[in-house]
Amino acid sequence: MTHPALDAVAEGFKEAFAEAGIEVTFDEQNAQGDQATLTNIANTFASSDADGFLAIATPTAQSLATVITDRPVVFAAVTDPVAAGLVASWESPDANLAGVSDLNPMKDQLELIKEALPEAKTVGIVYSAGEVNSEVQVTEAEKAAAELGLEIKKATVTNSSEVQQAAASLDVDAFLIPTDNTVVSAAESVIQVGEQKQIPVFASDESTMERGAAAGLSVNYTQQGKDAAAIMLKLLEGTPAADIPVETQKEFDLFVNVAAGGLQGLTLPDSIVSRATKQF
């Protein structure tokens, strides 16, 4: 599936090899969110003579892991590789799989919403029930919300064309877009509802703030790609996957879009704007 966060992973991966002076031939394939196409791509890769494979996002990693067992598969932009059935543990992956997680700090995201909207009581999340990564984030959001006196209201979709209607069905004080591939690819649909109904939209990746969400915390997806390249080199040099713990990001960047917030009826407080990593 094409959206800026996933594209940034691919670019970071390629940049890392270029910066290291290593000449690599890349065969890039995109299933555009279609599972049948993804399965065909995975089978084609399995029969190829490639030395290793980068799997961006959870569905891609699951498909490649099913059919490729004899060469390194490095995953990136995967929220919870254990819940997704990719590895046995975070500390010691097994078989031929290793990689980088983009697990988002849901409690921190909700605290950010509370800071921006002290009177908020309900937060709406639109997500794809078919993505394990999204289920994990929603569960974490519900746990955090209970601690913060918030209620999570949910709407599920099966494809990007359903996102706008799902968002419009929620009566909430704020929206939070998780790192859900289906929803992020159609983030403008949530943003449009936010503008129409004056509901501020918060998000979990930099590109969605740039596209019109008001604020949010994000991993650095370009760096995810570079970290994945470093792991690939270790695997190709013979380091066992079991010796390469799943990498996670400890600090997250804060991105704000003051103008977008205004269109959604939100004036972002100086306490948030002043500490932003970047403003759009």
What's the residue count for the chain? 280
Tell me the average pLDDT across 105-124.
98
- Tell me: pLDDT of 193 over 90: yes
Measure the CA–CA gap between 149 and 212, rounded to whole angstroms.
Answer: 27
Measure the CA–CA gap between 201 and 209, rounded to whole angstroms.
Answer: 9
Q: Is residue 167 part of a domain?
A: yes
Read off the pLDDT of residues 131-168 as tens digits, 9 standing for 90 and up: 898 999 999 999 999 999 999 999 999 999 999 999 99
- Tell me: pLDDT of 79 over 80: yes
Is 151 in the same domain as 271?
A: yes
Q: Is residue 248 part of a domain?
A: no
Domain hosting residue 132, numbered range: 106-218+253-279
Supply the pLDDT for residue 250: 81
Is 210 in the same domain as 93?
A: no
Is 154 in the same domain as 73?
A: no
Read off the pLDDT of residues 212-263 as tens digits, 9 standing for 90 and up: 999 999 999 999 999 999 999 999 999 999 999 999 988 899 999 999 999 9
Supply the pLDDT for residue 80: 93
Is 94 in the same domain as 118?
A: no
Is 17 in the same domain as 77?
A: yes
Closest to 53 in 3D by CA, of 30, 33, 28, 34 = 28
- Tell me: pLDDT of 94 over 80: no
- Tell me: pLDDT of 3 over 80: no
Number of structural domains found in the chain: 2
Is 193 in the same domain as 148?
A: yes
Is 91 in the same domain as 150?
A: no
Please report which confidence band the pLDDT of residue 197 belongs to, taking 50, 70 and 90 as the band edges: very high
Is 130 in the same domain as 260?
A: yes
- Tell me: pLDDT of 125 over 80: yes
Q: What proportion of the chain, given as a percentage, has pLDDT over 70?
A: 99
Asked whether 92 and 245 are in contact (CB, 8 A), the reply is yes
Supply the pLDDT for residue 34: 87
Supply the pLDDT for residue 1: 63
Please report which confidence band the pLDDT of residue 130 belongs to, taking 50, 70 and 90 as the band edges: confident
Asked whether 88 and 117 are in contact (CB, 8 A), the reply is no
Is 24 in the same domain as 122?
A: no
Is 62 in the same domain as 151?
A: no
Please report which confidence band the pLDDT of residue 53 belongs to, taking 50, 70 and 90 as the band edges: very high
What the block records as the tokens of 235 is 């695997």
- Tell me: pLDDT of 99 over 80: yes
99 dihedral zone (left: phi>0; alpha: psi -120 to 50; beta):
left
CATH of the domain at 50: 3.40.50.2300
Give 210's DSSP letter: H
Which contacts of 187-192 are long-range, i.e. CB under 8 A and separated by 24 or more positions? Answer: 187/3, 187/211, 187/212, 187/213, 188/212, 189/160, 189/163, 189/164, 190/126, 190/163, 190/164, 191/260, 191/264, 192/164
Is 115 in the same domain as 151?
A: yes
3-state secondary structure of 73: strand
Tokens 């419009």 correspond to: 168
Read off the pLDDT of residues 265-276 as tens digits, 9 standing for 90 and up: 999 999 999 999
Read off the pLDDT of residues 7-32 as tens digits, 9 standing for 90 and up: 999 999 999 999 999 999 999 999 98
Tokens 């555009």 correspond to: 32
Q: Which residues pair with 156 in a beta bridge?
A: 127
Is 150 in the same domain as 175?
A: yes
Find the radius of gyration of the CA atoms of the chain: 19
| Average pLDDT in the chain | 95
Q: Is residue 136 part of a domain?
A: yes
